[in-house]
């Protein structure tokens, strides 16, 4: 019980401090944007996730709660995706949406978007990490796709207060249900997401790409490290199907058309 108690306390304290200090810092730096109601709020509070996760992973590794095989790839992924997320939040052009939109701009309009930079950089860094991490080319292929698609999936959901965090929370709990052996890694993240959820639901800030990227790669990384090929391949196929759908249809419209999804989406706002 002592390890999980320590990790929960660290996650709770770091999150409380982060939400006290980071949003005012973002406002001071003029990192603000109108939310869906038109109110100007700080953008990029998701940097709290990256800072907290790195501290938790380092402390957990030093105390022997996590192996180096778990912590080093995750820390590398978090740092890399936090960087590209911060780049997109600071300089991003939202005119081109989806993978196809960004690459059409690059190939046909000769216009480089931060989304294309993010996609290319993310592919390179995730492939590089997985190349030294996996024993077979099939694992390399599946894990690279899984992490990239999970990262972008959380990003696709971050259009309404609380939506991306609710889905992240559900996926974390579902992942925990697949195997309790990872509870020391998952529960501190659950605590962090729960504390962020209230802030996000009240539309006091946007976590930004830096937040959705970090949550996505962390969740994808946990699945890639700890679970069997059938689970990973199934989740990857599901994520690919969702992305294919989102290229031609709106996920928000899909949610609106389903009473249960709409109720869950609005819950807490």
Domain positions in the chain are: 2-266
This prediction has a pTM of 0.89
pLDDT at 197 over 80: yes
Check residue 96 and give its pLDDT: 47
Model confidence band, residue 107 (pLDDT cutoffs 50, 70, 90): low
Mean per-residue pLDDT for 186-197? Answer: 95
Check residue 69 and give its pLDDT: 82
Mean per-residue pLDDT for 113-132? Answer: 79
Average pLDDT of the residues of the chain = 86
| 31-54 b/e (C-beta count within 10 Å ≥ 16 → b) | bbeebeeeeebbbbbbbbbbbbbb
Secondary structure (3-state) at 43 = strand
């Amino acid at each position: 019980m002592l390890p999980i108690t320590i990790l929960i306390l660290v996650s709770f304290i770091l999150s409380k401090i982060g939400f006290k200090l980071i949003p005012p810092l973002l406002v001071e730096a003029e990192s603000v944007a109108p939310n869906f109601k038109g109110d100007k709020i700080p953008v990029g509070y998701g940097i709290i996730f990256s800072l907290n996760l790195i501290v938790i992973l380092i402390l957990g590794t030093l105390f022997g709660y996590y192996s180096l095989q778990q912590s080093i790839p995750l820390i590398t992924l978090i740092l890399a995706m936090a960087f590209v997320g911060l780049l997109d939040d600071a300089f991003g052009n939202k005119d081109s949406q989806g993978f196809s939109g960004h690459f059409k701009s690059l190939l046909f309009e000769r216009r480089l978007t931060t989304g294309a930079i993010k996609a290319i950089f993310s592919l390179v860094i995730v492939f590089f990490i997985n190349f030294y991490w996996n024993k077979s080319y099939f694992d390399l292929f599946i894990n690279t796709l899984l992490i990239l698609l999970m990262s972008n999936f959380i990003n696709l959901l971050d259009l309404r207060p609380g939506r991306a965090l609710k889905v992240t929370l559900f996926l974390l709990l579902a992942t925990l249900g697949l195997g309790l052996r990872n509870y020391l890694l998952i529960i501190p993240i659950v605590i962090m997401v729960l504390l962020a959820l209230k802030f996000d639901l009240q539309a006091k800030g946007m976590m930004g790409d830096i937040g959705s990227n970090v949550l996505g790669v962390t969740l994808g990384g946990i699945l890639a490290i700890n679970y069997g090929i059938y689970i990973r391949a199934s989740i990857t196929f599901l994520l690919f199907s969702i992305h294919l759908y989102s290229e031609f249809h709106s996920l928000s419209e899909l949610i609106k058309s389903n009473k249960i999804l709409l109720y869950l989406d609005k819950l807490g706002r």
